Amino acid sequence: MIQILTIIAPLFLIIFASALLQKFKNIGDEWSKVLNEFALKIGLPVLIFAALAKTSFSFKEESSLIIANSLFLLVSFILAVIVGKILHLKKQMFLTFFICFVFGNIAYLGIPVLTSVSGEQILPKLSLIIAIYLFWLFTIGIGYLDYSLNKNKKDVTKNMLKNFTQNPLLLAVIFGLLFGSLKITIPSIILKSLEMISASVTPIVLVVIGLFIGTSKIGKLSEWFPVLLFSLFTLIIFPAGFYFSAKFFGLVPSQFMSSIIEAAMPLAITPFALSDKYNLHKTFIARSIVLSTILSVVSLPFWISLIG
């Protein structure tokens, strides 16, 4: 575990150094917005497209990965509804809990962590896992939020199609899989340019996470107890469920290492961006992002060392 911690420690060092810079120097939200826009609309899509386009892809060979991750997400959505009903959460908190339950930081933090541990060769498989998450999050996930707010099935379908056609990450996956499966060769001069952009992604997204953490207010200690329970659940119970389910069905957990580690990721920044549109509990989301990211410094090395 110490060896794994040493490998991914530089990633968290960048995050927390950026957080301290924001906290004490207050460099402003402009940096965060610009860097986030670059990462979301240019950097990560280019990284994912380049990784998939250079790899021959077969849905048949990756069927077990697709099925396992899809089942995990579908069960997680159902579990979120059950737990929310048991706890008798009010509508705002229920919808917040529902979307945050499975919206892990699979791209912003998942890519740097897993490439640091497994190398660049993990990117094609990692990109496919991200595609699976995006598909279900922007169909069932966002669709459920839309339906809960307006009860209009036509608007729900319209918004789902809009999310698909305007989501840069999802479009990068689709075109990357198309290029890879059809074995379309990208000219070396273009490929070199894409690789240069890809190389800039990891430090930028880590700085964005850090800047977000640096703007978060501490608040009262008692207000953090629900956040702590939620963070521990997502960082421990989620990956444990995936891990033991694989063993139960006679599968080798190490073959699903990327999937299990992605399931162990802290909460992503995206739900915070969606909070105004869907009237979500913004304070809970912000604190969950901060605390789960801090706790993942310990939880991620544990899961990586256990599986790998």
Q: Could you tell me the residue range of the domain that residue 290 belongs to?
A: 2-307
Distances (CA, A) of 171 to 84, 163, 202: 32, 10, 20
Task: Return the DSSP state at 55.
Answer: S
For 215-249, how does the pLDDT look when each residue is reduced to its tens digit (9 = 90+)?
777 777 777 889 999 999 899 998 999 899 888 88
For 158-176, how does the pLDDT look when each residue is reduced to its tens digit (9 = 90+)?
766 776 677 787 788 888 8
Residue 1 above 70 pLDDT?
no
Query: Strand, coil or helix: what is 219?
Result: coil
Average pLDDT score, the chain:
84
Instruction: Enumerate long-range contacts of 241-246, CB under 8 Å, 24 or more apart.
Output: 241/72, 242/68, 242/72, 243/303, 243/306, 243/307, 245/72, 246/68
CATH number at residue 265: 1.20.1530.20
- Tally of structural domains, the chain: 1
Confidence of residue 152 (pLDDT cuts 50, 70, 90): low
Q: What is the pTM of this model?
A: 0.80
Distance of alpha carbon 46 from alpha carbon 190, whole angstroms? 11
